[in-house]
Amino acid sequence: MGDVLFSASVRNLLHTVEPTDLIRKSIDELRLLYNLDEKDADSLRTEAALRVFPCIPRDVSELQDLFFKTGNEALDSFLNGGFLVPGVNEICGHAGVGKTQFCLQLSATALLQNPDSLVVYIITKDSLPTTRFTEIFEACSGRTLTGMDGLRRVLLLHIRQSAELMNALDVKIPSLIQAHKLCLIVLDSVAALFRGQDEVYARGEDLRKIGSGLLGLSQRYKIAVICVNQMSTNVEESEDVPALGLLWSNLISTRLVMTRIEIGDGSTTRFMEKSLGPTWPNEKKKFEIHAGGIKNIVLKAPVRIPAFSTNELIVLLLLRDISSFRSDHCDAIRIKVMKLGECMFISELASGRKKDEFKLTRFPVLQKC
């Protein structure tokens, strides 16, 4: 917003008072302190905030630039518009779940959406799966372009140490931005740089510099940033959690966790969960991987159960056994009982009755599957 749109008093304050001091005060405090009317006080505080945080959109029309689109309408909808720009977006999961394939898909999409731009792909392990990238790029382009058309526009950086990455973020990538137009930075993966590092303080300092460096590039040049992270086991909680701990979690803007479940018949089911993000409510969806990358974000179909009476549902809840009932039926029963608000009577219904009195044959849909 140009200074000409402000009153003389507001223009003078913007040039003589530090913006950080102005945004710490309320509109009423600004009115009393600088003898301003409400409109000028509001304009002063808003412009000061924009000067401190230049990434804040100045106009509603700029909101569309705050998301990096994946190229898949269902996936963008699941992500509430896409990945945040500016911001450090993390894709996390165990090995083989599809993290790198997703990054390759995002790289292909970025190149196709920005024909005059390049992608910086930082790889810290093995090598870039170029064959898979060409397959995804050709599928995403509708076979109108070859895989080599995409590979020519990928600037690949092989990095093995955290110090090397920090130098790339401070020197090499800004130099590339001066020479080329970049639309995406991918770091695959950040956790690999710290594998086997025991010095906690040094690792924390390096993580802070890497996170700040990535966010700084995204803010300064409005470039989408995607980082890959692994999972580690929390011994105390006996569960798998994203690697690199709480410090790294506080440095990222969004986190998408990908999981894979092996089914008894040999097939695999994959899920992605939004576990961190200012516009991301916690939600999990099933997805599939095809030639062109991630497809078919599947919405879970509602579970249909028979129209039992409240007492019958509570009895079934009491007799619930994972080995005897399908889990989705059990969840649906529990939810329905809770909605009916009758859970307080469970102990009364159960007292003085034996399980044998209730014949499960009355409910054929809920018999063992």
pLDDT given at position 351 = 38
* Residue 223: pLDDT over 80: yes
pLDDT given at position 54 = 60
Average pLDDT over residues 348-362: 37
Architecture of domain 63-298: 3-Layer(aba) Sandwich (3.40)
Please give the helix or strand (H or E) that residue 343 lies within, else none.
none
Q: What would the pLDDT profile of 89-113 be if each residue is shown by its tens digit?
A: 999 999 999 999 999 999 999 999 9
* Residue 347: pLDDT over 70: no
pLDDT given at position 359 = 36
Average pLDDT over residues 259-281: 83
pLDDT given at position 106 = 96
For a pLDDT cut of 70, what percent of the chain falls above it?
74
Q: What are phi and psi of 256, to 5 degrees?
A: -115, 115
Q: What would the pLDDT profile of 3-14 be if each residue is shown by its tens digit?
A: 446 788 888 888
* Residue 282: pLDDT over 90: no
- The H-assigned helical ranges of 250-362 are 310-318, 327-340, 346-350
pLDDT given at position 136 = 95
**If pLDDT is split at 50, 70 and 90, which confidence band does 368 have?**
very low
**If pLDDT is split at 50, 70 and 90, which confidence band does 60 have?**
very low
Which residue type does 322 have?
I
pTM flag (> 0.85): no
pLDDT given at position 307 = 52
Contact 66, 253 (CB under 8 A): no
pLDDT given at position 363 = 36
Break the chain into its structural domains and give their ranges. Answer: 3-53, 63-298, 310-366
Task: To the nearest 10°, report the CA torsion of 246, 252, 254, 255.
Answer: -50
Structure tokens at 32: 């009393």
